[in-house]
Amino acid sequence: MGFERPAASIDRQSSFGERLSTDFDAWLLRNLVWSFIEADDQLEYLCDGRNIVNNAAGLRKRQQGDDAAYLSKIEAIEATLDWLARERALELVAQACRACLEDSEKWASNTKFDDKHVKEAQGEANQWLREHTNEAARVGALGALE
């Protein structure tokens, strides 16, 4: 990114990976979800932006009090960035599910994964995409269900 990321921002991105990957029982899909979330630049920027806005709100509150002008607008921006980060994390889950469904040949060639692991992961990926069509549609992952 060009600057050292704040620990709070890194923790926020990791918390998305932690929480959303545990929605899956298949360890193959859990690992895919975690890696997609951890490596995403867009989510990184959203988490960093939220952290910066949070710091700005805190500074304004300390310097001008709890009823400072525009404080509520800054806090609304922070909430919006947090919501957008969560939506981006869900999009990444959809992308991981699509990869799980479309790249099965890669998994089959890896000796760590047998057919059972792949089928379990693909079953969960298929189910998740069917239950989260809005997120899947935003990133073009619905085609993996066809």
Residue 136 confidence (pLDDT) above 60:
yes
The 10s digit of each residue's pLDDT in 9-44 is: 999 999 999 999 999 999 889 999 999 999 999 999
Full residue range of the structural domain in which residue 15 is found: 7-140
The 10s digit of each residue's pLDDT in 29-87 is: 999 999 999 999 999 999 999 999 999 999 999 999 989 999 999 999 999 999 999 99
Report the domain count for the chain: 1
- On whether residue 128 sits in a domain, the answer given is yes
What's the N-to-C CA distance of the chain in angstroms?
A: 37
Residue 119 confidence (pLDDT) above 80:
yes
- On whether residue 2 sits in a domain, the answer given is no
d(CA 72, CA 61): 10
The sign one gets for the Cα dihedral 37, 43, 48, 54 is: negative
d(CA 118, CA 74): 45
- On whether residue 146 sits in a domain, the answer given is no
Residue 1's pLDDT band, with cuts at 50, 70 and 90, is: very low
22 in helix, strand or coil? coil
